[in-house]
A and B are shown apart, each in its own frame.
Chain A
Amino acid sequence: QQKVQQSPESLIVPEGGMASLNCTSSDRNVDYFWWYRQHSGKSPKMLMSIFSNGEKEEGRFTVHLNKASLHTSLHIRDSQPSDSALYLCAASANYGNEKITFGAGTKLTIKP
């Protein structure tokens, strides 16, 4: 059974600071990673996805992927209080059953 490990479990970052979140899959067949954000009391919404080695940037958010180590990281620069949320990493492999596996999440709190 594939596991997706996220670290840290929780993170407190001052407003304007950089938040860095990590995620690793145990399944060598994984070829796609997702980052979802879930605000308190809301449903998850996709933030970014990545399947190629390297880096992808969208505004204040940057995602890195190292396929050899099956490790992805999400970096949020100039963090805002509205970034406070649960960040879920998910991974999928091309098994044909369309399943993706979610990690337990990192709870990010941005302190004003």
Chain B
Amino acid sequence: NSKVIQTPRYLVKGQGQKAKMRCIPEKGHPVVFWYQQNKNNEFKFLINFQNQEVLQQIDMTEKRFSAECPSNSPCSLEIQSSEAGDSALYLCASSLSGGHAEQFFGPGTRLTVL
């Protein structure tokens, strides 16, 4: 069973508010991914890290989204100014070595922006 921990499980914010969610990867997994899964189950890659370094992030992430994975602290994903379209399930996954290794997913944070 996956040991990726995500908090909180549910998050409700008003438009324009900040929304912050956290992820603790499986012990020993240096690579962390953030995905957004919308109500149509479509998966969108947001950003990934290897240790504390950003490997790749999409344009959307570069504008209103910020993420970090500090050493000895949980990884975090923050939306600076939430929009209704940000309502989705945010999934964190970790893996041993990235693209060619199995990803283990956390339970997700379901964000609702009113």
Residue of A38, A42, A94, A97 with highest tally of chain B CB at under 10 A: A97
Q: Is B25 an interface residue (CB 8 A)?
A: no
What are 8 A-B residue pairs whose CB atoms fall within 8 Å in the complex?
A43-B2, A43-B105, A43-B108, A44-B105, A95-B99, A98-B55, A104-B41, A107-B41
Per-position contact with B for A39-72: 1 when CB-CB < 8 Å, else 0?
0001111100101000000000000000000000
Chain A residues with CB under 8 A of B103: 46, 100
Question: Given A45-B2, A102-B35 in contact, is the A92-B42 Cβ separation under 8 Å?
Answer: no
Contact A100 B40 (CB under 8 A): no
Known: A32-B99, A45-B105, A92-B100. A102 touches B31 (CB 8 A): no
Task: Report, as a range, how many residues of chain A touch the other chain.
Answer: 20 to 34
Contacting residues, chain B, for A94 (C-beta < 8 A)? 99-100
Answer whether residue A110 sits at the interface, using C-beta atoms and an 8 A cutoff: no
Give B residues with C-beta under 8 Å from A: 2, 31, 35, 40-43, 45, 48, 50, 55-56, 91, 95, 97-100, 102-108
Decide if A43 touches B99 in the complex (CB within 8 Å).
no
Neighbour of A98 across the interface among B31, B42, B102, B105, CB < 8 A: B31
Determine the chain A residues whose CB is within 8 A of the CB of B31 once the complex forms.
Answer: 98
Which chain A residues lie closer than 8 Å to B91 at the CB level?
A: 43-44
Contacts of A104 in B (CB 8 A): 40-43
Cβ contacts under 8 Å, A49 to chain B: 102
Our pick among A46, A88, A93 for the contact of B43 (Cβ within 8 Å) is: A88
Q: Which residues on the A side are within 8 Å of B45 (C-beta)?
A: 99-102
Would you call A92 and B43 a contact (CB within 8 A)?
no
> What residues on A are CB-neighbors of B102 within 8 Å?
34, 46, 49
Q: How far is the CA of A55 from the CA of B107 in the complex (A)?
A: 31
Q: Are A99 and B55 in contact (CB under 8 A)?
A: yes
Q: Is A21 an interface residue (CB 8 A)?
A: no
